[in-house]
Amino acid sequence: MGIKAGQIIAVENTKRPHFTNAKTSYYLVWVEDHTGGNERPLMLTHKELQRIINRASKNSEDLISTTDSNALVITDSSIVRGRLIPVWNKNRRYKAENTYYYALLVEGINSGLKCLLFTEAELTKVEYRANRNKEDIVKKGFIADLLD
């Protein structure tokens, strides 16, 4: 079974050590950089996915186009499923908050399209998990890979 870039699916943790608090399943999505290169999988826990979805719904202003030429934002026409796009955090209330996020459009959550907002730390964590659990990663289909 192959998946497309930006399609999020649940995968089983096949080599879960006994008597650990390791998750029994993860969410897997294939992504690429905003330039269309560096294709890689991400593995998220259910809790991480909920946190990332909630951030996107609370920071919807970061996903709306603006006339500011210096702003690094996305518009509806520039969103590509499975592509990580850096966006400014426009309403930063505290200096400790992130100055930017990574926006990602995915499909497969409740049978629709959702935009997710990752922090740099979250992105690093889910990439690391995917590298450690290569046996659980569903490969992209040949045709889907050509069309991405």
pLDDT band (50, 70, 90) for residue 127: very high
pLDDT score recorded for residue 72: 47
Which residues partner with 117 through β-bridges?
Answer: 103
pLDDT above 90: percentage of residues in the chain: 11
The CA-to-CA distance between both ends of the chain, in Å, stands at 17
Please tell me the distance from the alpha carbon of residue 10 to that of residue 41, in angstroms, as a whole number: 13
Q: Taking Cα atoms as reference points, which of 38, 114, 105 lies closest to residue 78? A: 105
Kindly tell me if the per-residue pLDDT of 10 is higher than 60: yes
Residue 135 has pLDDT above 90, yes or no: no
* pLDDT per residue as tens digits for the range 49-100: 999 888 888 877 766 443 434 334 444 445 678 888 888 777 777 666 777 7
**Any idea where the domains of the chain sit in the sequence?**
9-147
Q: Which of 58, 41, 57 is nearest to 114 (CA)?
A: 57
* pTM for the structure as a whole: 0.75
Residue 62 has what pLDDT? 67
pLDDT, one tens digit per residue, over 96-123 is 677 778 888 888 876 677 888 888 899 9
Instruction: Please tell me the distance from the alpha carbon of residue 108 to that of residue 44, in angstroms, as a whole number.
Output: 14
What is the Cα–Cα distance from 64 to 76, expressed in whole angstroms? 8
Say which amino acid occupies 93.
Answer: R
